[in-house]
Amino acid sequence: MNGTDVITGIADAVVPAEDGRPEVIIDWKSDVNPSTTTLAHYQAQVRAYMDMTGARLGLIVMATSGTVISLDTV
């Protein structure tokens, strides 16, 4: 019997390209001082959104500090 992996999630914002396909995924986080493990989890989360949508750029916006972590396609 073959299984199926189902991944769900909600990105905070998706910026479409001119052709309507997702180009940028944006996810805001409100952590004050996230750990390295937490940041790695956020990066994996946004990369999964990018993989699922074909977006070329992902942005993790740390709302409290104003830091933006940029993830490009590999």
Give the model confidence (pLDDT) of 32-57 as tens digits: 999 999 999 999 999 999 999 999 99
- Residue in 14, 11, 20, 73 with CA at minimum distance from that of residue 42: 11
Provide the CA 43 distance to its chain's centre, in angstroms: 7
Return the number of other C-beta atoms located less than 10 Å from residue 14's C-beta: 14
pLDDT band at 66 (very low <50, low <70, confident <90, very high): very high
* 3 state DSSP class of 25: strand
Q: Predicted confidence band at 74 (pLDDT cuts at 50, 70, 90)?
A: low
pTM value is 0.86
